[in-house]
A = this chain, B = another copy of it.
Amino acid sequence: MNENNRYIKGLDNLSKIDGEQGQLVIDSLSGIAEDIGMYIIEFAFGDIYDRKTLDLKQREMITITSLLSQGGTENQLRVHINGSLNVGLSKEEIIEIFIQCIPYVGFPRVLNATSIALEIFAGK
């Protein structure tokens, strides 16, 4: 696959998963930082999200788990909780993913992610 195809495929996946919010992240990276947006599209969404073996619901489940577990990624959680709803995870499943993390990361990071999720759910 040539570079151009990776970009097109990535843009398509980004739009399917993160919708408008994903595009806003890319737009915020124009100018001096636009290569970072390009790598997000080509590598994260063109290469990785386009793979087989796991479907998009599973990939978003893994992504929000990884973001919650690292901490300090509130903006990315906001994008990917929306993305999780877009690809078909239910609100109950999203909260349950966070609950499954409690024994592994403790309450603080789970509370941070939950408070973002509840904000998003309230706005829907």
A110 contacts B by Cβ under 8 Å: yes
Report the Cα distance A48→B95, complex, angstroms.
12
Knowing A44-B103, A95-B32, A105-B105, the reply to whether A111 touches B75 (Cβ < 8 A) is yes
How many residues of A sit at the interface, in one of the four size bands? 35 or more
The answer to whether A66 and B3 have CB atoms under 8 Å apart is no
The answer to whether A115 and B69 have CB atoms under 8 Å apart is no
Knowing A1-B3, A96-B51, A100-B48, the reply to whether A109 touches B62 (Cβ < 8 A) is no
A8 contacts B by Cβ under 8 Å: no
Report the Cα distance A58→B99, complex, angstroms.
12
Knowing A61-B62, A106-B105, the reply to whether A73 touches B75 (Cβ < 8 A) is no
